[in-house]
Structure 1
Amino acid sequence: MTKINSLADFANKRFRHAGKAYLEKGDPFFWEIDSMRQAAEARGTHFVSFANYDYLGLSAHPAVKAAATEAVDKQGVGALASRLVGGQRSIHRPFEDALASFVGTEAVLALVSGYLTNMTVIAHIMGSRDGLFLDELSHNSIVSGAKSASSDKIHFRHNDLDHLDYLLTQKRADYKNVLIVAESLYSMDGDITDLARLVEIKERHGAWLLVDEAHSIGVLGADGRGLCEYAGIDPNRVDLIIGTLSKSFASCGGFVAGKTEVIDWLRYTLPGFVYSVGLSPVIIAAAKCALELMQKEPWRIARLHRNAELFIELAHEAGLNTGPSIGGGGVVPILFSDSHETLAASRHLMANGYYVPPIIQIGVPKDQPRLRFFLSAQHTEAEIHGVIDLLAKRESAHTAPTHSLNAAT
């Protein structure tokens, strides 16, 4: 066995395995988007990002910025301590109550990180006599939470609820408690789970259900209330809804929603909440304002839906492969045949003022590299036509993306 003498050597070796060689022709990641935008404006050219999940275009809204500024003036920057042992700010509970009302659950608990929310909730509620049933394409935060749990882990094929039903039929009796975990809108493929069927399965098998709505609240449903609204399901039939403040709410942090008894228990026992600092008043104020704007300006949600539908329509007309992504969602991938072609397409777009970093190696199977587009209510039809036109012209002159998935579906 080869001995590695230092952490730096170890890190360099792991980095090579992760695909360091892909960066030799230029690193497409970690670009300073504010500087890029300012430089483009100074040149009189455009800079359009499809890499940021500001779905409703609220991150720079004057009212959101004003709310954050007012919070700084009145309450300062930090939350200063864990809310349990250090006391909470007057803005915390009103925001949680307003968010619960919007989502349609009895209560909400807000945490400092969306990633942390999945990790700490899953690990906290599942014991050694329990079974955890996970979609095989679950987000890394779910996977990490599952690894931290002492329960058994069983994976079902992606969005294959017949497979989940079969596994539960075979294994439910082996466990005291069972938790099914699925996402609403999957962040790499832009597809959704069949929530009505999922709820029916969990109720029939006497299981609990956790749905991660990070990419669907503010996006799915006529009012942007998420997958429950989209599917016509009472949110209170879902045991736990996980969400984030970093997307439609233009802020930062995460939350867990559910029955009052469940949230009260988590408020006093959940490690990721009890042992973490509370959300900054600035963050809460910005998110609260975004929540209010979302309801006052429903045209933003409608425009997002139109933009996403237009993007997929144009992509299909151009023969581009959008995988299983749904019409009207905020996430649409364009799949390519290999990682180098994906990188080249990303660089081509960047050279023409469109920022779309490639998704390769990490987060998706190695044989399914892609450019992932986040659509926003702020994007114009001209910007959507422009980026698709660039890809279509490039693809007509190069090897076309793989069509293992029907672009018309």
Structure 2
Amino acid sequence: MARSHRNVCKQNGSANGTLYKREYKESFEEAPLYIPVLTYLGYGILILFGYLRDFMRRWGLEKCHIAEEREEQRDFVPLYQDFENFYTRNIYMRIRDNFNRPICSVPGPLFDLMERMTDDYNWTYRHTGKVIKDVINMGSYNYLGFAENNEESLQKVKKVLERYGVGVCSTRHEMGQTDKLQELEDLVAEFLDVEAAMVCSMGFTTNSTNIPALVGKGCLILSDELNHTSLILGARLSGATIRVFQHNNMGNLEKLLRDAVVRGQPRTHRAWKKILILVEGIYSMEGSIVRLPEIIALKKKYKAYLYMDEAHSIGAVGSTGRGVVEYFGMDPADVDVMMGTFTKSFGAIGGYIAGKRDLVDYLRNHSHSAFYAASMSPPVAEQIIKVMKCIMGRDGTLKGQQRVNQLAENTRYFRQKLYDLNLITYGNEDSPVVPVLMYMPSKVAAFSRHMLKKKIGVVIVGFPATPMAEARVRFCMSAAHTKEMLDKVVDELDKMGDVLNVKHSRHGRTNRTVVYDETNIELDA
């Protein structure tokens, strides 16, 4: 049974119980016009020099490190794509050294990195044997800080390891089902307030193998343009027709839904068998949060299904870490397929699909992840159970809730500091993923190298993971970060922001108020 209107309001602090309201702020500020112009001009110069170097490689004047077809294969269909190789060998390989370093410690708020050198622009490496100690970790998805080396909290995991071993060496349908997996699935269903859940051994394949089991030929998928590769791959493997809507643009989504209902399938104009909307809870490159109340309203209006990937939001947002469903005070039953991973907030591996019992039972018998993938390791399952019980307060302490609160506090604090520095940041103010725009590949490379010298580990992202003119540094907040750590990062950001000239913000921020009363959705700009 759906939650009453009044209960939804109470969960979000509404005194009168008449409607649900949440005000949230998102920032997608555009840089001054000269910045993208200079960025594209820089890429143009790099491309010219790239072709010059390719000419030199062709004549043996410079060594080419890229993988190539053998001489006898070159007259047939090329094995490698030319433009992707061109970008890789001439640009990407110059900047990829920034964080392709072995980690030799727990990926907590501080970690150790193995130092290495390159003599051929990052095509090959040689390790020096030295270790860079106590680097501030600003890149791992360790949102709640549970990826830690705490001997006391790992005792249960150790006991399960001693009893069950490292792996089960079989699939779920053969000899891979364990009581630990059953315990985990029951706990996940309870945590999410749904009927049932199914656990998979890998987060990426949770999407790529389960989506094809839900839709196929004659079905329509409406996918957000910024969806993760695993969602895109799953949609392509399904054989369904795919149409992409603009990121978080409800007007564009409704137009596609209306056209799909009115016109039906191409040529035959028969009604679509299913219409599935694919979205994420938090978008890992933009830091934005899905506009869930509006999507659910559209889903109900046009009788579509909703598949939501909460890889980055489960455990990271919501008053008790239940993700964007709790963040917006929605009924979990309104999301047809709830997907998430244990690789971020839970400090483990794997993923889950949750929802109605009929849905989960169907996937158990039709998903390739259930039939062909190795079952989740029991010690890993125990780690997830331990963390989830901690978040729920089942361990008899408030440590889990304190971490959820600390993450929210760190996120707000860090984003406000960047706002004060006039750096252009993307995303929602409650999102622990904080992208800082630097635009030019040379700037992100210089920034990353400087930060590592200051013992701060950051992740830089550029084309093709982002638009060509929007290279960025992506910070990931953690409950384990101290204020002193964040202040040190902000101080270095301030210095490098002046050196690299990336303080372009004019404080252009979009404020939205979502009003939800179960029958109506309003969006106030």
Decide: shared fold, TM above 0.5.
Answer: yes
SS in 1 for 2:428: coil
Does the Cα contact within 8 Å between 1:307 and 1:328 map onto a contact in 2?
A: no
* Residue aligning to 2:308: 211
1:134-176, CA deviations, whole angstroms, 9 ceiling, x for partnerless residues? 0011101011111111111011000001110111111125112
Change (3 A) 1:216 1:38: closer
* Residue aligning to 2:501: 399
Does the Cα contact within 8 Å between 1:134 and 1:180 map onto a contact in 2?
A: yes
Cα distance in 1, alignment partners of residues 171 and 331 from structure 2: 32
Q: How does 1:37-186 map to 2 (within 5 A)?
A: 37-38=111-112, 46-60=134-148, 61-173=150-262, 174=264, 175-186=272-283
Does the Cα contact within 8 Å between 1:118 and 1:142 map onto a contact in 2?
A: yes
Q: Which moved more, 1:219-228 or 1:119-128?
A: 119-128
Structure with bigger gyration radius: 2
Structure with greater helix share of residues: 1
* Residue aligning to 2:421: 318
Identity, % of aligned positions: 28
Change (3 A) 1:129 1:83: same
SS in 2 for 1:252: coil
SS in 1 for 2:413: helix
* Residue aligning to 1:18: 88
Cα distance in 2, alignment partners of residues 283 and 102 from structure 1: 18
Amino acid at match of 2:69: I
Change (3 A) 1:163 1:383: same
Where do 5+ consecutive residues of structure 1 fail to align?
Answer: none
Cα distance in 1, alignment partners of residues 441 and 91 from structure 2: 11
* Residue aligning to 2:488: 386
Q: Which moved more, 1:267-276 or 1:106-115?
A: 267-276
1:201 aligns with 2:201: no
Cα distance in 2, alignment partners of residues 132 and 65 from structure 1: 42
Does the Cα contact within 8 Å between 2:209 and 2:368 map onto a contact in 1?
A: yes
Does the Cα contact within 8 Å between 2:307 and 2:335 map onto a contact in 1?
A: yes
> Cα RMSD over matched residues?
2.5
Cα distance in 2, alignment partners of residues 107 and 129 from structure 1: 28
Cα distance in 1, alignment partners of residues 132 and 441 from structure 2: 32
1:113-151, CA deviations, whole angstroms, 9 ceiling, x for partnerless residues? 111011111112112111000001110101111111111
Match of 1:309 among 394, 412, 425: 412
Change (3 A) 1:369 1:25: closer
Cα distance in 2, alignment partners of residues 106 and 47 from structure 1: 43
* Residue aligning to 1:284: 381
TM-score (normalised: structure 2): 0.73
Cα distance in 1, alignment partners of residues 461 and 490 from structure 2: 18
Amino acid at match of 1:397: V
1:164-204, CA deviations, whole angstroms, 9 ceiling, x for partnerless residues? 01111111251121100111111111111111111111111
Change (3 A) 1:44 1:188: closer
Cα distance in 1, alignment partners of residues 81 and 285 from structure 2: 27
* Residue aligning to 1:294: 391
Match of 1:4 among 69, 84, 105: 69
Q: Which moved more, 1:397-406 or 1:312-321?
A: 397-406
Match of 2:360 among 244, 248, 263: 263
Where do 5+ consecutive residues of structure 2 fail to align?
Answer: 1-57, 59-67, 115-129, 265-271, 394-398, 512-525
1:27-58, CA deviations, whole angstroms, 9 ceiling, x for partnerless residues? 11321232693479x99974101110111111
SS in 2 for 1:255: strand
Does the Cα contact within 8 Å between 1:322 and 1:407 map onto a contact in 2?
A: no
SS in 2 for 1:321: coil
Q: How many residues align?
A: 406
1:34 aligns with 2:100: no
TM-score (normalised: structure 1): 0.93
Cα distance in 2, alignment partners of residues 55 and 399 from structure 1: 30
State the shift of 1:290 in Å: 1.0
Cα distance in 1, alignment partners of residues 383 and 303 from structure 2: 39
1:89-111, CA deviations, whole angstroms, 9 ceiling, x for partnerless residues? 11011111101111111111000
SS in 1 for 2:345: coil
Change (3 A) 1:11 1:362: same
Change (3 A) 1:314 1:168: same
Amino acid at match of 1:80: C
1:353 aligns with 2:455: yes
Does the Cα contact within 8 Å between 1:64 and 1:290 map onto a contact in 2?
A: no
Cα distance in 1, alignment partners of residues 133 and 373 from structure 2: 44
Change (3 A) 1:46 1:12: farther
State the shift of 1:402 in Å: 5.0
* Residue aligning to 1:242: 339
Does the Cα contact within 8 Å between 1:335 and 1:401 map onto a contact in 2?
A: no
Does the Cα contact within 8 Å between 1:67 and 1:285 map onto a contact in 2?
A: yes
Change (3 A) 1:43 1:24: closer
Amino acid at match of 2:88: A
Change (3 A) 1:19 1:235: farther
Cα distance in 2, alignment partners of residues 149 and 39 from structure 1: 40
* Residue aligning to 2:7: none
Does the Cα contact within 8 Å between 1:18 and 1:361 map onto a contact in 2?
A: no
Cα distance in 2, alignment partners of residues 395 and 375 from structure 1: 20
